[in-house]
Chain A
Amino acid sequence: MGVTTVVLAGVGGQGTILAGDVLAKVAVAEGHEVKLSEVHGMAQRGGSVDTVVRFGEEVFSPVVDRGMADHLIAFEIIEGARTLPYLRPGGRLVVNRRMVAPLPVLIGDLPAPEDLEQALVAGGAVLLDAEALACEAGSPRSANVVLLGAASYGLPFAEATWTSVIEERVPPKTVEANLRAFALGRHACAEGVCEL
């Protein structure tokens, strides 16, 4: 098989790095060659952050160009829209409905973008409210794992592998909430049809 590329796009502090780490470890557990790329430092102070996970038989580049991603998981809707050109035509798109206003919007220099949901749905997006599902799971901080659950339907990994990696990777006290969050995300977006 070839290489599969997943891009996780979000805002610094949203937990994209942990989500990317879980995904990469799941791919390793299922016997794939894996590369994960992330950017630390200044961008993390509320800026855009992208994590790239690539897996397959033999992976060379840790990063990808526009049109090369097979999956895009957007933790925030503006970042989903910004990163959309990275997703190849026909690629799978899971987007959190939440908008985190960037500073130019906060201070009124630029308007908040409108109609992003329609544009993303036209691009094949499955939209969900990850924060609401995370609250339902019992931990508002597990929205990143909800999104992994939602994306997991399109990824070739066994549910048991996901749960064992999540158990191992998240803080012990939050294991149950995170497993519920994963299941809620996965079932909300069963077969790529989101109920929310």
Chain B
Amino acid sequence: MSRTLLSGNEAVARGAWEAGVAVGVGYPGTPSTEVLESLVRFDGVRCEWAPNEKVAAEVAGGVSLGGRRTLVTMKHVGLNVAADALYTQAYTGVTGGLVYLVADDPGMHSSQNEQDTRNHAAAAHVPLLEPSDSQEALEYVISAFRISEAYDVPVIVRMTTRISHAKTLVEVGERSEAVGGSYASQPPKFVMMPGNARLRRIDLESRMTALEAYAETASENRVEMRDASLGIVTSGVAYQYVREALPDASVLKIGLVNPLSDRLLFDFRSRVERIAVVEELDPYLTLRLKALGVDLVDTGLPTMGELSPMAIAVAFGGKIPETREPIPDLPPRPPLLCPGCPHRGIFRGLAKMRAIVIGDIGCYTLAALPPLKAMDSCVCMGASIGMARGMELAGSADRPVVAVIGDSTFAHSGITGLLHMAYTGSSATVVVLDNRTTAMTGHQGNPVSGVSLGGAPAQAVDLEALCSALGAASVRVVDPHDLDATLAVLKHEVAEDHLSVIIAKAPCALIVKEHKDPYAVDEESCTKCGACVRLGCPAISYDVNGRAVIDTTLCVGCAQCVQVCRFDAIVQVGPSCDIGGV
């Protein structure tokens, strides 16, 4: 059998398909997004983006209730949203296999925090499998469906960025598991009112006890005996780092992280002279071993951020190899809003008004960086609206307070916040940045854009009607590329004593297929005032003489800079000789 190079996320999708999954559902979130984008390409699987992870988990719960296998995908913070469903699904158990694919982001490459999903598994009393490469990702997903049905419980497969986004060789199989399933009414199992739930609570413990016995001999847990002087207990990508850094060490590789088998841990302890734990993020395995009274080697490894082979080698007495001197004084390269990004128009207006901007999760969070510096908070999906209401109640702001939220984030968790504002008599101003896509995670469709997973047209919500129905007194639509009109509407609505929603509607510059001709700076007219440069467009910079210059290979002709130039120095030119495009 030939092997294929697959990312961890692609391997999960393949594994789910081979396991006969009927439905894949989730909400996009780095590093989990590509799982459903891969799964949708297989025949015989229905895949859907849900407005948020809780809805996704409930859809998955319904598929399971209907007797079919289902995969629900999200990033680590998404599980907080879906947790309400998960914690009680643990009680009801499943009919068809129910697997949660949750991708953590140690080091926060693209996240607002770095929580460790293993804790959720322990708290919810559900099993958690953790692969350490793409081959295991495929195999563990298949195992997860079998465990889910055999032990009547939802199962989490936990990935991390380095597993989800690393490509490794995989031996793939065929779609061989049972696909069929049927519904049988079982109210005592699925109607979780107290009388039933108390019995299911007890039942859950017996299911997990049975799983603990399974964990003792589970193929997902593996002892690799080498030199017995040092034994390492590890899981996930940390296993790969241990093998790289400490090739002679014996290893207990934990694939089934919850529940753990105490006997397995004690047995490994008895076979090695010294024992240590190497794990990324929280001291999950460490605390379990300590609770068992096992005397661990203190590695001093951090409990935050990503590990690396070198960090592990050094922790066990290895020397840091000779390295080159860094080249000093290099400018940092923060991510930034793209040329032609419609968000720039809104944040330029908010910065001019010196508004307190209660932001949210999306590309637009980048407006917090210089030169726009137009965001005061960003916490979690939908927080902008609730927090803006809170700021209003605090009553301490001496400047206008504006909530800013993207279209997909509004659909995810903003609607209930706006409902609260209307219900409680708020006179806040909420800006919905409707760029017709879920941009940050790679341009997924959503209920506002009316594009389905896979790209087919879908029902699009009427955003204006929705906001009015929720109780906004004023709903205005602006083109954020029109800077004066945008600023005028912002100023007007902030001054009004009623609840306002401003929908800034213009497509993401990266989904616009045909760009307008680029602009260039007329050297004679440029006074070096810097107004255009302060928009923070990657296409605009200063030349050696301090005049503005536009990189015509990057410019997409949005004309925002033209509007801020008071000297008419920015003029449209023909298509450039595109030598810079790569």
Contact = CB atoms under 8 A, between A and B. Distances in A.
Interface of A: 11-15, 21, 24-25, 28, 33-48, 59-68, 75, 78-79, 81-82, 84-85, 87-89, 98, 101-113, 116, 119, 123, 130-132, 134-135, 140-141, 143-144
A14 B538 contact: no
B44 interface: no
A84 B327 contact: yes
A65 B335 contact: no
Nearest to B105: A41
A39 B309 contact: no
B165 A65 contact: no
B369 A108 contact: no
A107 B310 CA distance: 37
Contacts of B195: none
Contact of A46 (B31, B109, B133, B338): B338
Interface of B: 3, 5, 30-31, 33-34, 109-110, 133, 161-162, 165-169, 237, 240-241, 243-244, 308-311, 320-327, 329-338, 363, 366, 369-371, 440-442, 530, 533-534, 536, 538, 540-542, 578-582
Contacts of B337: 45
A62 B534 CA distance: 40
Given A12-B335, A104-B332, 13 more contacts: A14-B582, A40-B442, A42-B30, A46-B538, A47-B335, A60-B244, A64-B309, A78-B330, A102-B334, A103-B369, A106-B538, A130-B582, A140-B578
Contact of B582 (A37, A45, A62, A141): A141
Contacts of A123: 324
A105 B541 contact: yes
Given A11-B333, A60-B244, A104-B331, A43 B370 contact: no
A33 B169 contact: yes
A168 to B, nearest CB: 12
B582 A42 contact: no
A40 B331 contact: no
B581 A116 contact: no
A25 B5 contact: yes
Contacts of B167: 21, 24, 34-37
B442 A46 contact: no
Sorted from nearest, which 7 A-B pairs have the closest CB atoms?
Answer: A41-B110, A65-B310, A41-B30, A67-B323, A47-B335, A62-B166, A102-B333
A47 B363 CA distance: 13
A32 B363 CA distance: 38
6 contacts: A41-B109, A61-B308, A64-B309, A84-B326, A85-B323, A89-B324
Contacts of A38: 165-166
Contacts of A15: 582
A130 B541 CA distance: 23
A132 B579 contact: yes
Nearest to B163: A62
Given A37-B162, A41-B109, A116-B327, A28 B169 contact: yes
A62 B162 contact: yes
Given A61-B244, A131-B580, A106 B168 contact: no
Nearest to B369: A103
Interface centre among A14, A66, A106, A109 (most CB of B within 10 A): A106
Contacts of B578: 140
A60 B533 contact: no
A39 B338 CA distance: 18
B308 A65 contact: yes
Contact of A85 (B33, B162, B311, B324): B324
A72 B363 CA distance: 30
B interface majority secondary structure:
loop
A82 B324 contact: no
Contact of A65 (B309, B333, B580): B309
Contact of A87 (B324, B581, B582): B324
Contacts of A64: 308-309
B222 to A, nearest CB: 15
Interface centre among B241, B244, B371 (most CB of A within 10 A): B244
Given A42-B440, A106-B541, A108-B530, A35 B335 contact: no
Nearest to B540: A106
A66 B323 CA distance: 7
Contacts of B582: 13-15, 75, 130-131, 134, 140-141, 143-144
A103 B579 contact: no
Interface centre among A105, A107, A111, A141 (most CB of B within 10 A): A107
Contacts of B322: 67, 89
Contact of A40 (B3, B30, B240, B320): B30
Contacts of B331: 78, 102, 104-105, 110-113
B368 to A, nearest CB: 12
Interface centre among A21, A38, A41 (most CB of B within 10 A): A41
Contact of A131 (B3, B109, B309, B579): B579
A113 B580 contact: no
Contacts of B369: 103
Contacts of B30: 40-42
A15 B310 CA distance: 29
Contacts of B363: 42, 45
B541 A101 contact: yes
Given A63-B308, A108-B533, A119 B441 contact: no
A87 B541 CA distance: 31
B5 A34 contact: yes
B334 A39 contact: no
Contacts of B110: 39-43
A33 B338 CA distance: 37
Contacts of B243: 60-61
Given A28-B5, A45-B338, A107 B579 contact: no
Contacts of B244: 60-61
A119 B327 contact: yes
Contacts of A107: 370-371, 533-534, 536, 541
Contacts of B333: 11, 46-48, 78-79, 82, 102-103
Given A34-B169, A36-B166, A140 B581 contact: yes
A40 B338 contact: no
A110 B370 CA distance: 12
Contact of B581 (A67, A102, A141): A141
Contacts of B581: 140-141
B335 A42 contact: yes
A57 B561 CA distance: 54
